[in-house]
């Protein structure tokens, strides 16, 4: 078994809650008297451009909300979007501390997120302290499960695919990584994750 050199982590759904998913939108937007039936089609049209870094947060908000006068400000809604981000798996930080202390693995992100939300979340939850580098769709213009974003991650890591591990909560994203020869674990909880990591020879 090849020793794992680099561990790539999804963020939303593993470490933190998702950035701005359908459940968060459904919980937040009615508070601003926004009609979800009108908002959702506009979101789906604009969100992929936003998450690929081809549209700014301001442009996204113009497309989905501020095409008409509103009773709330851009700052009001952006603050509400930011407040939807929370730690999902507090135990992850203890695991990350053990992995960092062992000094045998590089730690990196591999996630789909807009540039602005990704930057906010990295700062808000001090995630820059835990990772060596960051592969985010908003930075690189590609999204999981496209093969290109995984190839870029491997190029940046300079690790052979079989020496990398990708952890994500979506099976389709794991399958795409495995198609390129990467190891993959579909995240269902911290205990199961640690057990599967030990099965790959990772000391925890």
The span from the first CA to the last CA of the chain, in angstroms, equals: 17
The values of phi and psi at residue 47, to 5°, are -65, -40
Indicate if 92 and 175 belong to the same structural domain: yes
Rg for the chain, CA atoms, rounded: 18
Handedness of CA 26, 188, 52, 113 (dihedral sign): positive
Per residue of the chain (204 residues), give pLDDT as tens.
Answer: 689 999 999 999 999 999 999 999 999 999 999 999 999 999 999 999 999 999 999 999 999 999 999 999 999 999 999 999 999 999 999 999 999 999 999 999 999 999 999 999 999 999 999 999 999 999 999 999 999 999 999 999 999 999 999 999 999 999 999 999 999 999 999 999 999 999 999 999
Beta strands at 133-136 and 106-111: parallel, antiparallel or unpaired:
parallel
Any domain includes 164: yes
* Region at 41 (left for phi over 0; alpha for psi -120 to 50; beta for the rest): alpha
Domain that holds residue 63: 22-83
CATH number of the domain enclosing 57: 1.10.150.240
Class of residue 107 by CB neighbours under 10 A (exposed 0-12, middle 13-18, buried 19+):
middle
DSSP-assigned states of every residue in 89-104: -THHHHHHHHHHHHT-
Indicate if 51 and 135 belong to the same structural domain: no
């Amino acid at each position: 078994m090849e020793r794992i050199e680099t561990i790539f982590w999804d963020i939303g759904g593993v470490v933190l809650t998702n950035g701005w998913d359908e459940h968060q939108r459904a919980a937040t937007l009615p508070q601003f008297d926004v009609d979800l039936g009108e908002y959702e089609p506009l979101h789906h049209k604009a969100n992929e451009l936003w998450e690929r870094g081809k549209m700014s947060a301001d442009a996204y908000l113009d497309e989905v909300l501020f095409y008409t006068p509103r009773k709330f400000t851009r700052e009001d809604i952006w603050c509400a979007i930011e407040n939807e981000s929370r730690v999902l798996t507090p135990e992850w930080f203890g695991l990350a501390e053990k992995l960092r202390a062992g000094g045998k693995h590089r730690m990196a992100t591999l996630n789909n997120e807009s540039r602005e939300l990704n930057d906010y979340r990295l700062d808000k939850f001090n995630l820059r302290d835990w990772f060596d580098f960051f592969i985010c769709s908003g930075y690189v213009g590609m999204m999981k499960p496209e093969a290109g974003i995984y190839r870029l991650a491997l190029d940046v890591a300079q690790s052979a695919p079989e020496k990398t591990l990708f952890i994500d909560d979506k099976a389709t994203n794991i399958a795409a990584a495995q198609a390129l020869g990467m190891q993959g674990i579909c995240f269902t909880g911290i205990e199961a994750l640690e057990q599967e990591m030990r099965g790959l020879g990772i000391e925890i």
